[in-house]
Amino acid sequence: MSKKARIKKILVEQILDKADIPYETVVFSGGMNRNQAELDAYGLTDHDIYKTLALDGNVTGPVIGVVPVDNHLNEKKLAAVSGNKKVNMIPTKNLQKTTGYIHGANNPVGIWQTKKFPIYFDNSAKEAGTITVSAGEVGRSIRINAEALAEFVHAQFADIRSVD
């Protein structure tokens, strides 16, 4: 592979390599605006891609919820499972200060490595087996075994999405 075609590994990928956790790099040229051709090339649907959401709990402080991008997080369910009475989304302007990542780049690996916030994956991730999550840069993701990822970031699986 020529130097030009080689993609430089970003921090999340380096952390996973060091931990010997297999993953596949996924790159979306349009960032969060994924196009159908790229989804098809990777064999993905929106339901295979998971968003990492940062919320603030009234008891625990920051808490992370991971749900499919085509679903909504149920804040009441996340609050209950995380030991809070209520949780609220962290405002975008405070996101980088809280998690270390900008909107669209939050990821469970980087957040766990630097912040140790409690992380909850929706049960659908466990059922899916393999999921795709952000790798810490907008447009850069990793496809990874959900259970291996959850174990690595000390996450719990729970019913945290809204049923629309």
Q: Domain of 79: which CATH number? A: 3.90.960.10
- 164 found inside a domain: no
Q: Can you give the residue range of the structural domain that contains 52?
A: 26-158
- 12 found inside a domain: no
- 13 found inside a domain: no
Looking at residue 2, its pLDDT comes to: 45
Q: How remote is the C-alpha of 18 from its chain's centroid? A: 19
Compute CA distances 145 → 27, 41, 45, 112, 133, whole Å.
18, 19, 16, 17, 11
- 145 found inside a domain: yes
- 2 found inside a domain: no
Looking at residue 5, its pLDDT comes to: 56
- 10 found inside a domain: no
Looking at residue 1, its pLDDT comes to: 42
Look at the chain and report how many structural domains it folds into. 1
What DSSP string describes the chain?
Answer: --TTTPPPPPHHHHHHHHTT--EEEEE-TTTTS--HHHHHHHT--GGGEEEEEEEEETTTEEEEEEEETTS-B-HHHHHHHHT-S-EEEPPHHHHHHHHSS-TTT--HHHHHHHH---EEEEHHHHHHSEEEEEEEETTEEEEEEHHHHHHHTT-EEE--B---
Query: In 113-132, which positions are buried (b, 16+ CB within 10 angstroms) versus exposed (e)?
Result: eebebbbbbbebbeebeebb
List per-residue pLDDT tens for the chain, 164 residues long.
444 556 789 999 999 999 999 999 999 998 888 889 999 999 999 999 999 999 999 999 999 999 999 999 999 999 999 999 999 999 999 999 999 999 999 999 999 999 999 999 999 999 999 999 999 999 999 999 999 999 999 999 999 999 76
- 59 found inside a domain: yes
Looking at residue 8, its pLDDT comes to: 84
- 86 found inside a domain: yes
**Spatial separation of the C-alpha atoms in residues 143 and 137, rounded to whole Å:** 14
